[in-house]
Amino acid sequence: MKKNIIITLLAAIILSSCGQYNRLLKSKDYEYKYEAAKAYYAKGQYNRAATLLNDLVLVLKATDKAEESVYLLGLCYFNQKDYTTAATTFITYYSSYPSGKYAEVARFQAGRALFLDTPEPRLDQSSTYKALQELHLYLEEYPNSIRKEEAESMMFELQEKLVKKEYLAAKLYYDLGLYMGNNYESSIITAQNALLDYPYTKQREALSILILRSKYQIAKNSIHEKKDERYRDAIDEYYGFKNEFPESKYIIEVEEIFKNSIKEVNIEEFKD
């Protein structure tokens, strides 16, 4: 115990000297080096701590410091905002020590690191799916965790990112209109699939108005023989939209679509 205290004090002293740090990198006194790495971490010098820990992880593998060294290395990367490497390190930890002291928090931190590393909705979302999978596995493994609410919140935010990407795709199809084909159909299919996959999304109204607009545009641009059927389809969509979003910010546009559609079908049941 006394020896460990002395080593820790010496490690703390060494932090004040850059030259001493360079000599420390070459040191073969691994216990001393490890305590110095922890001291650097405590002072927020994560890069130096990570450099030392990278040299030590394999050396300490068969010791009582093995678990902590890998976990601490993951924290160093995380605090440097190198989230990809942090996630990989945390995954290495819980894969190597599934019943370890830091297993639960390492699994959570892996999901959190991947969550923070996800790109904006317009970009490829492969990492978003990976983050969702990691957080899902965490909740499966630790269903009663004190971090459950935070994990679920991150998952919901990731799902919203995926929905946003689908919305942007549906909006692009709508904006393309009849350019090189009927892109309104693609807009409808993309938006409907997003609603099926994520029925509780915050983008629900935005996706729904795209569907209504697209059906109306399809009806307007149809050949005479199909206009009646397609305007009826737009009218059905109007009723569904109005029922779900009675105070929608799009209500003026929605009522205009309905008014124009019933003029085209000209049938008694819509006259009131």
**pLDDT given for residue 102 in this prediction:** 96
Residue 201 has pLDDT above 80, yes or no: yes
Residue 271 has pLDDT above 60, yes or no: no
Q: Which of 86, 84, 55, 59 is nearest to 71 (CA)?
A: 86
Q: What is the pLDDT of residues 174-199, one digit of tens each?
A: 999 989 889 999 999 999 999 999 99
Q: Could you tell me which residues come within 8 angstroms of residue 240 by beta carbon, excluding any fewer than 6 positions away? A: 208
**pLDDT, mean of residues 220-227:** 90
Check: CB of residue 231 under 8 Å from CB of residue 265: yes
Q: What is the pLDDT of residues 94-129, one digit of tens each?
A: 999 999 999 999 999 999 999 999 999 999 999 999
Residue 5 has pLDDT above 60, yes or no: no
For residues 1 and 47, the model is more confident at: 47
**pLDDT given for residue 27 in this prediction:** 74
Q: What is the mean pLDDT of the chain?
A: 90
Question: How many angstroms separate the CA atoms of 102 and 110, rounded?
Answer: 12
Question: How many angstroms separate the CA atoms of 256 and 77, rounded?
Answer: 55
Check: CB of residue 230 under 8 Å from CB of residue 219: yes
Residue 77 has pLDDT above 70, yes or no: yes
Residue 2 has pLDDT above 90, yes or no: no
**pLDDT, mean of residues 250-257:** 96
Structure tokens at 108: 């959570």
Question: How many angstroms separate the CA atoms of 75 and 80, rounded?
Answer: 8
User: Whole-model pTM?
Assistant: 0.84
Read off the pLDDT band of 69 (50, 70, 90).
very high
Distance, CA of 241 to chain centre: 29
Q: Could you tell me which residues come within 8 angstroms of residue 238 by beta carbon, excluding any fewer than 6 positions away? A: 212, 254, 257, 258, 261
**pLDDT, mean of residues 166-179:** 96
**pLDDT, mean of residues 245-271:** 86
**pLDDT given for residue 17 in this prediction:** 55
High-pLDDT (> 90) share of the chain, %: 78
Q: What is the pLDDT of residues 6-31, one digit of tens each?
A: 444 444 554 555 567 777 777 778 88
Give the chain as a DSSP string: -HHHHHHHHHHHHHTT-HHHHHHHHH---HHHHHHHHHHHHHTT-HHHHHHHHHHHTTTTTTSTTHHHHHHHHHHHHHHTT-HHHHHHHHHHHHHH-TTSTTHHHHHHHHHHHHHHT---TTS--HHHHHHHHHHHHHHHH-TT-TTHHHHHHHHHHHHHHHHHHHHHHHHHHHHHTTTTS-HHHHHHHHHHHHHHH-TT-TTHHHHHHHHHHHHHHHHHTS-HHHHHHHHHHHHHHHHHHHHH-TT-TTHHHHHHHHHHHHHHH--GGG--
Read off the pLDDT band of 1 (50, 70, 90).
very low
**pLDDT given for residue 20 in this prediction:** 76
